[in-house]
Structure 1
Amino acid sequence: MAIVTVSAAVSHVGKIRSNNQDSGFAGETLFAVADGMGGHAGGDVASALALKRLAEIDGEYSSAVDAEFALQEAIVAANAVLTETVYEHPELTGMGTTLSALVRVGHSVALAHIGDSRVYRLRDDTLTQITVDHTFVQRLVDSGRITPEEAKTHPRRSVLMRVLGDVDAAPEVDLQVMDTRPGDRWMLCSDGLSGVVEHDEIEAILKDSIAPADAADALVKSSLDHGAPDNVTVVVVDVHQSLDTPEVEPVLVGSAARPIAFEQSSGRRTSRIPGLRLHPRGPASTEPSHFEPGSEDYLDELIEEDRRRSRRRKITWLIAALLAVALIALGLYAGYRWTQTRYYVGESNGNVAVFQGVQQGVGPIQLSHVFQETDIPTDALPGYTQRQVENTISADSVTAALDIVKRLSDTAAEGSESGSGEGGSTDGGTPTPTPTPTPSPSGSPAP
């Protein structure tokens, strides 16, 4: 049985941009995505020229190494085409494009990558990002200066370190050969998808969609549902075993699917900074097609700026934390002051006492203290009243608490009086003893 591929390519302008600067290609063995940059006219021209030159190598190869070499040669040739085009059309100076491509050869794929478009592989329901972005923030992540989460919102996340264009005659392209097997699903995309839709959501869509065309459409729709601030292009490739080799009609999408038109504009040549491009992401970006720093130490300046941002962020968090602590402390103090407006009657040292505060505590901290201790013993109270005092009696104010104490004092006094009234007494209040009879000599009681 032969190893075959089934693929689909979709490109959409997105919800914000006026033209599509992405290009995509799905052929017999070659699959690629390019994301152009360089202004209204330059981006679409760059990606279309690169993809059309690359499409010329679509075909069969004897080995993955041969396919890898063909990819490298085609990318160098595409870069030369861009340089020549800028020479003939100076208004396109500064245009460039990312490029991610793969060629399947049997059980292997040859990969080529430059820029921030991406190649993913879904195997055994697990999605893996194969390529590494050639961006400034990715360098910061790799060096440990920022986290991947911080990279998503970093103000320099649009800076590309490597692209095809009129800047570098010999661009550095990542090349590798990997294995593939039946059941693998490969996905190539521009950052209009990967920069908007989370990894887990992309994985779920690729797992749930049966046909490549359905998966590509669902991924583009997901980007649109998230606002699609940039062009989005997706190529999905499934690897199968089959007895038949299907006929494949190569498909170009995006700007490569249209005739290339050069729009005359008032342009000027800009300073050439090797390997440093700005990939606009905002809907109304007024930034230039690439940076024009006045110093070769621009990267160091960016890194130092990032450090300053980090320090400012830490100071902001510290101030916010101090404010939060102050608010919590103020709330606790206000709560404590309120507790001191409450009173209750309870027991202290065996006597009835008035307490200021509330009966509850916070851990080892008590929220009440003895306000006034009386000379009324709790054991002088009736049993039921004594238990009430031991369990505390709440009062709304100190006056109400003192009224409770007065009633308890009266109750204790009544209990004392009722206790002293039991048994006989003389005029002096001392019980009169009862005389004991004296026995007679004969042993009979005396009369």
Structure 2
Amino acid sequence: MAFSAETCVAMHIGDRAEQQDRVGLFAHPKRPGVMLAVLADGMGGHSGGAMAAEQVIMRAKQNLEVYAPGHETPQELLSSVIDEAHVVIKLTRFTSEKDPHSTAVTFLMEQGRAYWAHCGDSRIYHFRGTETVSRSGDHSLVGELMRKGRLDEEGSLRHPQRNVLLSCLGSEREPRVDYGMLESPDAGDAFLLCSDGLWAYFTDVELASTIQSAPPREAAERLIAMARERAGGAGDNISLIIVKLVPLASAAR
């Protein structure tokens, strides 16, 4: 079935003094049907995290502009964004008094296929209707404990070290990058990129149901409002990108 992509990019500062998340949604300047979504959650004290996250967005935009599918694979593009941002963020440590770090999650649509990559605990979800087809694994202490079966989903949300990352951009160690792809996405599929300021307050079913029940902008507004209410005045920065595939007839309406 032919489909079109409905999208929305949304952010909220939460209860923090500064917005250190960054998001971007870019179309290829010369190749129709090629779209890159990117989200970064910066860390590193006042302005340091914002600087780090901004580097991820800049790399994504610049690398997409010179992306040539005949000479570079989708995974190579996504890898270059994360790897080059990591190097630049590390270099800024020597030119400032900051210690900047960032997560990164990238999502590429090209020729009817979907590709993604992530590092850190910002997530990408793939929903089909209200079903969660896949969810990225967090590169965090809590994520590792869950993978080893030593912590369940409910316990992870209360763990005192739930914000400790094992991999991110800007650290001394090379970032761990995980990849995914969908060969034949179709109408009814939806993708959510988001920072922990959003996903920490929802079950997968709640996220999928909200995105399924409304257009992307309305769904984003609902999710942010619910996250703010559930945070109880102690919420982190919120950022999200929704990419929802709909039949062409629905898009026309």
Class of the TM-score when normalised by the shorter of the 2 chains: 0.7 to 0.9
Find the partner of 1:42 among 29, 48, 64.
Answer: 48
1:70 CA displacement: 0.7
- CA deviation string 1:405-447 (max 9, x = no partner): xxxxxxxxxxxxxxxxxxxxxxxxxxxxxxxxxxxxxxxxxxx
1:58 CA displacement: 3.4
Q: Is 1:203 aligned to residue 203 of structure 2?
A: no
Q: In the aligned structure 2, how far is the partner of 1:174 from the partner of 1:166?
A: 17
Deviates more, 1:51-60 or 1:80-89: 51-60
State the number of aligned residues: 239
1:6 CA displacement: 2.2
SS of the residue corresponding to residue 127 of structure 2 reads strand
Corresponding residue of 2:226: 222
Q: Is 1:238 aligned to residue 244 of structure 2?
A: yes
SS of the residue corresponding to residue 239 of structure 1 reads strand
Deviates more, 1:218-227 or 1:174-183: 174-183
Matched AA of 2:230: H
Matched AA of 1:174: D
Corresponding residue of 1:173: 177
- CA deviation string 1:215-260 (max 9, x = no partner): 11221111112126100001001224549x99xxxxxxxxxxxxxx
- In the TM superposition, what are the counterparts of 1:118-137 in structure 2 within 5 Å? 118-137=123-142
- In the TM superposition, what are the counterparts of 1:333-348 in structure 2 within 5 Å? none
Q: In the aligned structure 1, how far is the partner of 2:76 from the partner of 2:193?
A: 20
Q: Is 1:26 aligned to residue 28 of structure 2?
A: no
Q: In the aligned structure 2, how far is the partner of 1:127 from the partner of 1:144?
A: 20
Q: Give structure 1 stretches of 5+ with no counterpart.
A: 247-447
Contact 2:8-2:241 at 8 Å conserved across structures: yes
1:2 CA displacement: 6.2
SS of the residue corresponding to residue 179 of structure 2 reads strand
Contact 1:3-1:106 at 8 Å conserved across structures: no
1:61 CA displacement: 5.9
SS of the residue corresponding to residue 243 of structure 2 reads strand
Find the partner of 2:89 among 78, 82, 90.
Answer: 82
Contact 2:129-2:208 at 8 Å conserved across structures: no
Give the structure, 1 or 2, with the largest relative contact order (CA under 8 Å, sep 6 or more): 2
- CA deviation string 1:91-135 (max 9, x = no partner): 112x20111111011232111110111111221331344210111
Question: TM-score normalised to the size of structure 2?
Answer: 0.86
Q: In the aligned structure 1, how far is the partner of 2:38 from the partner of 2:80?
A: 15
Q: Is 1:57 aligned to residue 63 of structure 2?
A: yes
Corresponding residue of 1:387: none
SS of the residue corresponding to residue 17 of structure 2 reads coil
- In the TM superposition, what are the counterparts of 1:235-274 in structure 2 within 5 Å? 235-240=241-246, 242=248
Corresponding residue of 2:119: 114
- CA deviation string 1:313-341 (max 9, x = no partner): xxxxxxxxxxxxxxxxxxxxxxxxxxxxx
- CA deviation string 1:330-375 (max 9, x = no partner): xxxxxxxxxxxxxxxxxxxxxxxxxxxxxxxxxxxxxxxxxxxxxx
Contact 1:68-1:177 at 8 Å conserved across structures: no
Counting aligned pairs with the same residue, the percent is 28
Q: Is 1:161 aligned to residue 166 of structure 2?
A: yes
Contact 1:220-1:234 at 8 Å conserved across structures: no
Q: Cα–Cα, structure 1 residues 126 and 2, in superposed 2: closer, same or farther, change >3 Å?
A: closer
Question: TM-score normalised to the size of structure 1?
Answer: 0.50
Find the partner of 1:143 among 148, 153, 158.
Answer: 148
Q: In the aligned structure 1, how far is the partner of 2:16 from the partner of 2:45?
A: 11
